[in-house]
Homo-oligomer: A and B are copies of this chain.
């Protein structure tokens, strides 16, 4: 458990050039706090769904991040700036994903079964992007800021716009495009 908390701090330090120390991240990064609260809520959810939602609501009031307790969030996920992020009940977020503030992984109706996106590993989703419905975002994909994504995104592709379209089919080399928000 402590190892996981430590891993979260390392992840933020590695991905945010403005982060300086583990103590700074632990005290002041709302995206990290939101993930910690989500782990507690996610553990509580199967047996104590109401208590899980109360934990999530308290975390939401403090951090501005609204994650349903049932959502599945991978390891080394980083939510930068955090305010306005909404992750729905049946969403899945893979390992090593970076989400910026204002990202929505939302639903599109009362359809039975999965209603929210499945996001692969190492995906980067820019600020304000809205992904809706039971779509799949492939590993290493990138989603531009303020995009509206209503269809599957191929692995490694970069999509932008509203509705989002593919503007690049393979990930760019180097680190220059690692941040979209």
Contact = CB atoms under 8 A, between A and B. Distances in A.
A28 to B, nearest CB: 4
B107 A179 contact: yes
Contacts of A49: 20, 24
Interface in A1-58: 17-18, 20-21, 23-24, 27-30, 49-50, 53-54, 56-57
Number of copies: 3
Interface centre among A23, A63, A104 (most CB of B within 10 A): A104
A60 B50 CA distance: 24
A79 interface: no
B83 A86 contact: yes
Interface in A153-181: 160-163, 175-181
A166 to B, nearest CB: 15
A106 B66 CA distance: 22
Nearest to A58: B28
Nearest to A178: B109
17 contacts: A27-B54, A28-B54, A29-B57, A61-B63, A66-B101, A86-B101, A104-B181, A106-B145, A107-B179, A110-B178, A126-B132, A130-B145, A145-B148, A146-B162, A148-B160, A160-B163, A162-B162
